[in-house]
Structure 1
Amino acid sequence: MTDCGCEKARRDLEEYLRNEVCHTEHTDITEHLATCAECRDEALVARTLTEVVARACREAAPEELRDVVLSRLRTAQATHH
């Protein structure tokens, strides 16, 4: 394979991280990340951010917070009708 270069690696980084690129492109980007610290750092930031957001989406709000928010929404709805 050949090094795809920074421009292509960065342009296709999100798809690469979601495994949405073809095998050849995946191999090329993997090879580039192995040799380019700047792009590797960008990939690490993107991967970490994606994992944190995904984890946050799975977390549930505490029951007390949920009750307070629902109560305030009901009060707001009652005063605006």
Structure 2
Amino acid sequence: MTDCGCEKARRDLEEYLRHEVCKTSQTDIAEHLEHCEGCQDEALVARTLTEVLARACKESAPEELRDQVLAKLREAQTVQS
């Protein structure tokens, strides 16, 4: 096992979670995470945050809110004209 160390694991964590590191780095970081509780915790937080943000970006505003915003925009445009 080649332990990449906490500094490298944490520096490359986001890319690791998105599978954007080379295969060697992917393996090194995965092995490091297996043995380092601190980095495991940080990876869990990063993974959870990424998942929550992804879900939030898929949600859309309620139709009623959308209609209210559009009405206010039209009203503002009318006042400026």
Q: Same fold (TM over 0.5)?
A: yes
Q: Deviations over 1:10-34 (max 9, x none)?
A: 1100100000001110010001111
Matches within 5 A, 1:20-39: 20-39=20-39
Distance 1:41 1:78 in 2: 53
Aligned equivalents of 1:16, 1:24: Cα separation in 2? 11
Give a deviation string over 1:37-66, Cα, whole Å, max 9, x none.
Answer: 111111111111111111111111110011
* Alpha-carbon separation, structure 1, partners of 2:8 and 2:17: 14
User: RMSD value over aligned CA atoms?
Assistant: 1.0
The within-5 A match list for 1:27-66 is 27-66=27-66
Of 67-76 and 7-16, the range deviating more from structure 2: 67-76
Query: Which position in structure 1 is the counterpart of 2:7?
Result: 7
The runs of at least 4 aligned residues of structure 1 exceeding 3 Å deviation read none
Identity %: 74
Given the two structures, how large is their TM-score scaled by the length of structure 2?
0.92
Stretches of structure 1 lacking an aligned partner (at least 5 in a row): none
Q: How many residues align?
A: 81
TM-score (normalizing by structure 1)? 0.92
Q: Which SS does the other structure have where 1:43 is aligned?
A: helix
